[in-house]
């Protein structure tokens, strides 16, 4: 058994701040409030419902994760956020159309008072949106200072002991890393010069990390995945993680693809298409925002299937992803997959998946877990990229010299082993045993 890592106790309240109080954020806030009132269970949340096996299987030690390691409780969470629209969380949740009005009315008293702070926004980075509730300042650096004031005010007004930030705002246009992202010095200089390579999401991330607040990126934007942010996170001892919540179709891919590879079944093609009618779908209707999402969705199979190791099985795989904005469906996305596989003697077979999912219902528990685990990471003295949280992302961030891990089951093993390590328990490295958790 290894040493226990000293972990600060989660005393006091934890502030959860979100840029973007849209479908995901409001489903998360209203959901936590409903669960606290006993109206439902925290389905989909590892921190609330997950267990962890400890020691030998014969020992039969399988506590709940939240009983094994001290985590912030639901009662400790306080919510805040920014948006380009002025709607409070109750109204924004009604507009998002994810949760039923009857449920929202039962939590209305608690969520109606949460109103968004003015956003840092620039339409050049999200072409499909226009909003008035936006901060104005001469430079991007000044905007960051204004966000830092919001963060401090939120802390003082709510008497918070700790805070985290989770990006739940719209997907920005595709951006490649730029030389100004290379160092903290060049990044700060670029902010002061209003350089176009500094996107609004980067200004939030900078303000968060500079304030000592851990940051998670739920969208595929570059945001914290640049060396300047790694440097700042290192200096400030702040954990960071991202990118892009792993929910509907990509969740399915990272469940199925490891299975095909395990059984050495080949793949000729994987065609994925979606119809989606919420605001996220509308933003992704813009080719530049879609490109950011497409990159994030396409990378997954390449890493899991390792065509360089298994060229006979995967080198000719044709992988295509489409998202179609179709308003009648709202948040209730439909994702189709056609998978062309081949087996013994090369005989072809097909698999069809039709996932009638609810995007924000799948994403909300991820926001909860990320907020709670990032807080744990900070209390445990962990800083920089948190690869053990890859489990939650389509494009997991990793150290520049490493490659990301996409296999959901390996990701889960890494996550639980990190918890075991923090508590000085023996690590379980045999994947098969993990299924007995």
Ligand X SMILES: NC(=O)c1ccc[n+]([C@@H]2O[C@H](COP(=O)([O-])OP(=O)(O)OC[C@H]3O[C@@H](n4cnc5c(N)ncnc54)[C@H](O)[C@@H]3O)[C@@H](O)[C@H]2O)c1
Please, which residue, 42 or 335, has the CB nearer to ligand X?
335
Q: How far apart are CA 37 and CA 42, in angstroms?
A: 12
Determine how many CB atoms are found less than 10 A away from the CB of residue 213: 23
**Minimum CB distance to ligand X, residue 171 (Å):** 4
Q: What's the burial of 413, exposed, middle or buried (CB within 10 Å: 0-12/13-18/19+)?
A: buried
Please, which residue, 161 or 273, has the CB nearer to ligand X?
273
Look up residue 292 and give its two tokens.
Answer: 């950011």
**Minimum CB distance to ligand X, residue 210 (Å):** 17
Please, which residue, 85 or 310, has the CB nearer to ligand X?
85
* DSSP per-residue string spanning 161-174: EEEEEEE-SPPPPP
Q: Which residue is nearest to ligand X (CB)?
A: 22
**Minimum CB distance to ligand X, residue 154 (Å):** 15
**Minimum CB distance to ligand X, residue 253 (Å):** 13
Asked if residues 417 and 427 have their Cβ atoms less than 8 Å apart, the reply is yes
Q: In what order do the strands lie in the sheet with 334-342?
A: 318-325, 266-276, 334-342, 348-356
Cα 181 to chain center, whole Å?
Answer: 22
DSSP bridge partners of 191: none
**Minimum CB distance to ligand X, residue 370 (Å):** 12
Please, which residue, 274 or 380, has the CB nearer to ligand X?
274
Please, which residue, 171 or 386, has the CB nearer to ligand X?
171
**Minimum CB distance to ligand X, residue 169 (Å):** 4
Query: Which of 274, 330, 263 lies closest to 297, judged by CA?
Result: 274
Q: How far apart are CA 284 and CA 72, in angstroms?
A: 34
Q: What's the burial of 1, exposed, middle or buried (CB within 10 Å: 0-12/13-18/19+)?
A: exposed
Look up residue 220 and give its two tokens.
Answer: 């595929």
Please, which residue, 248 or 266, has the CB nearer to ligand X?
248
Helix (H, G, I), strand (E, B) or coil at 353: strand
Q: Could you list the residues that contact ligand X (CB under 6 A)?
A: 19-24, 82-85, 96, 119-121, 126, 129, 131, 168-171, 200, 218-219, 244-245, 247, 278-280, 283, 359-360, 362-363
Please, which residue, 10 or 22, has the CB nearer to ligand X?
22
């Amino acid at each position: 058994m290894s040493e226990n890592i000293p972990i600060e106790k989660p005393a006091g309240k934890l502030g959860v701040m979100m840029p973007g109080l849209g479908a995901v954020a409001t489903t998360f806030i209203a959901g936590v409030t409903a669960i606290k009132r006993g109206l439902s269970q925290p389905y989909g949340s590892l921190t609330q419902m997950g267990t962890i096996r400890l020691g030998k299987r014969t020992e039969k030690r399988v506590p709940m994760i939240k009983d094994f390691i001290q985590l912030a409780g639901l009662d400790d969470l306080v919510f805040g956020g920014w948006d380009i629209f002025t709607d409070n969380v109750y109204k924004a949740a009604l507009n998002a159309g994810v949760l039923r009005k009857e449920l929202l009315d039962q939590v209305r008293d608690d969520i109606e008072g949460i109103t968004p702070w003015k956003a840092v926004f620039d339409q050049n980075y999200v072409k499909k949106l226009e909003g008035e509730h936006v901060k104005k300042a001469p430079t991007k650096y000044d905007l960051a200072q204004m966000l830092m004031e919001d963060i401090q005010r939120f802390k003082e007004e709510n008497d918070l002991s700790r805070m985290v930030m989770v990006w739940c705002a719209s997907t920005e246009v595709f951006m490649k890393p730029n030389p100004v992202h290379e160092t903290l010095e060049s990044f700060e200089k670029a902010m002061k010069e209003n350089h176009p390579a500094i996107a609004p999401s980067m200004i939030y991330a900078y303000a968060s990390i500079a304030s000592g607040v851990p940051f998670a990126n739920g969208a595929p934007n570059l945001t914290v995945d640049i060396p300047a942010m790694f440097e700042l996170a290192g200096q400030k001892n702040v954990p960071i993680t991202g990118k892009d919540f792993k929910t509907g179709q990509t969740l399915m891919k990272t469940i199925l693809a490891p299975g095909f590879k395990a059984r050495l079944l080949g793949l000729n093609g994987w065609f994925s298409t979606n119809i989606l009618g919420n605001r996220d779908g509308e933003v992704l209707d813009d080719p530049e925002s879609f490109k950011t999402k497409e990159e994030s969705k396409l990378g997954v199979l390449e890493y899991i299937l390792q065509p360089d190791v298994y060229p006979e099985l995967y080198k000719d795989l044709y992988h295509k992803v489409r998202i179609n904005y179709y308003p009648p469906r709202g948040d209730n996305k439909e994702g189709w997959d056609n998978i062309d596989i081949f087996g013994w003697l090369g005989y072809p077979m097909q698999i069809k998946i039709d996932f009638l999912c609810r995007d924000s219902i799948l994403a909300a528990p991820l926001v909860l877990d990320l907020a709670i685990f990032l807080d744990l990471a900070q209390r445990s003295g962990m800083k920089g990229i948190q690869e053990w949280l890859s489990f939650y992302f389509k494009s997991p961030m990793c150290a520049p010299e490493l490659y990301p891990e996409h296999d959901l089951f390996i990701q889960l093993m890494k996550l639980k082993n990190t918890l075991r390590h923090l508590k000085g328990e023996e690590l379980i490295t045999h994947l098969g045993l993990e299924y007995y958790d």
